[in-house]
Structure 1
Amino acid sequence: MGRMAGDQRAARPRLVYVVPHLSETESEHFAHIPALLAALGERVDVAAAVERGTPPARLPGVRLLLRVPGRGRLGRVLGTALTIHRCARAGYRTYFLRYSTLFVIALILTRPLYRHRILLWRSGLPDVREPEQRKTLGDRARDAVNRATARLVHCLVTGPETMVPRMAGLWGVPRHRMRLLYNDVDARRFTPLDEAERARVRARLGWDEEEFVMLFVHRLSYRKGVRLLTPLLGAVRSAVEDGVDGADGASRTRVRLAVAGDGPERARLAREAADPALGGRMRLLGAVPNRDLPELYAAADCVVMPSYEEGFPRVLLEAMASATPVVTTNAGGSADVVGAGYPYVAPVGDLDTLVAHVRAVAATPPAERRALGLRLRERAEREFSPERVAAMLHALL
């Protein structure tokens, strides 16, 4: 019996999952990776190579946990090569990477020596940029490196469905070398709050129960639609607070926008938030650790994502798992994520439609908003659980 179990374990595929950054205070979406690794460990012998951050001493589901050593450019190059060597000696020959340019280049260069297999995730459109920004020589060099690495790996992995042909065309990769993989969300961590707990969280955040609170969670960049936030707030305030959406024409409620994130547009947004015309209704929360986001999502009335560019946005997954209605654009694969027939998806850059959608959510009775949120949560649990995504990744091996 013991020998049979050992034979079964020996037959399991082995995978090195390269983690770009991991720490307890992680504010990026890499905080989702541990839940996926735990689910993946039920099917695969997993090694995790953490490039930066302060990972824990162990991760559930991970048999071999490596911290890539080295400081500075040369130190990181040597540390990456050493990590690849250690993985090879431990019998690991297949790698899955997200956005780890140095690591994937090192894998390509050492492939003749170690014969490893490389699965590279990419999603999103890098050419979306500010109207005033021109493509620099550095941008062109990065594009050339990204195009070369996409063509030299074993397969390019992306999702959701809409992004498969777009990524194939963008990076010049034949369709037979493209693979579909979903992003995941842990619905045990991102979950709705009961009425009493929700009231407590809103009180701590300074949100009145009668307020309609919009929440933006993302990088503060042009690509994520940050420049649309102030006109969006102004238009929704004007419509809702002036009674346009009220059945009796009277003023209904106050509108507030909370912004979680950091990035190059923060200074611009801070100036706009300080404008007396907004009446102090926009609050910038800064970068919020991912571990603290579940309460924020669950306490809000609506999550807005006015992005010009997306791939497979985890912001939508987090909001959906929290049972909070979302208003989004159809950037990238966003419409795939919320599902066919979801009513609050606007064309990219269409401020009027975004405003109309937020007004519609604000005018929806609370019980109906809760029902809409719960339908989104059911979709997140069914389609995007770590267990389902682990099964998809296992199938790729």
Structure 2
Amino acid sequence: MSERLQRRSFLAGLWAALSAMFGASMTAAAANQPPQKAEGRESRAGIHPWLGVGEQVTADVVLDGKVVAQLNDTATLPGLKKLPALVFDLPPGLKRLQLRGSLRDAEGRAGSFSKTWTVRDMAPISAPLYDGSRPMIERVRAFAEKTELAEVAAPRLPAGTTAEAAFQQLERRLHVQLPTPLRQLLGQAGIHIDDSYFLGPQDLGTVSELLLKGWGYTRSGGPTALDTLLPETVLARYDRSVAVFIEVGDGLGALAWDPAGVSLHEPANSWGDKGNPGARPATPNEGVWYWLHQEHIDEPELLLDDDYQPKSAEAALTNVFQRFALSQAAYPETEDELVIDTAHPRNLLQLSFDGPKKPRLWFRSYDYHYSLY
């Protein structure tokens, strides 16, 4: 069996186990919920069409037999956009979502389509991560205990060292003040997700230090020299940024925090989203979080919100669990199934077409690249 098929088989088994554990209680809870007004729901879905330039899609969005919105979008640029073409509320207990409409190509030829998906909600396993009434460390512990998709243990510190002392030493050395959510999370837990992990308080340092000490790069001279591989602005960012999470997979990657934040119109380096306006500084400036990877070491991918401003520390740290834990359970089991997550504030649903009459709607909020959105 190929590695890809093995992976899909593993994911199907994982979800089946999780559904057996939590699905029945969730279904009963949804059935017993009183009706809620759509505008009172926190969970929403955004449809992000992926069309060819000049193609136009028009469609009714039908939830459990009721038309709730109409999509009308014409592509002026190729690929997926960060901002959705349409946003609608996700009602509790949703069972089916239908799209019916037409796709018109750049030459004006149109074809009609109608497609219905059976909905599967991930909220039973993801909800602890989005419980704003609890401190983040409690959310992470509850998520790990419920799903076993992450390992959370007591932090391992050298004898005679406290997490607070390690944080203060780093702050004095780098002349920064670490974000409070980061201090709380790393100070109270050692966290692994498969082979990837958060660094302990005593192991925190700059991205440049990480690249030079652990990843085999050199400062100057030779094919792996940072001053050769990186633009000056990126090297400066790596010199002042704190690396907090190490990705171990197809190469090495990391999540890092740059206390300096972003410059106006700085490229986000997100996958897709062509023609975007670039980053916008936030007020007050609390820095910017980003992902880096060996495959594109010169293009750190900024974590920005829908206004292209830096995401909060909590959102960035939550993104780790979205990309590396929840992504394992977010795959549809069939072409007729649509995964959603009503615990997530806004679901990213990609709409593409395998043919004029074959729409494909796909939940991408937890995908490796799409979670940057």
TM-score by length of 1: 0.23
Task: Give the strand-richer structure, 1 or 2.
Answer: 2
Q: Larger RCO: Structure 1 or Structure 2 (Cα < 8 Å, ≥ 6 residues apart)? A: 2
TM-score by length of 2: 0.24
Task: Give the helix-richer structure, 1 or 2.
Answer: 1
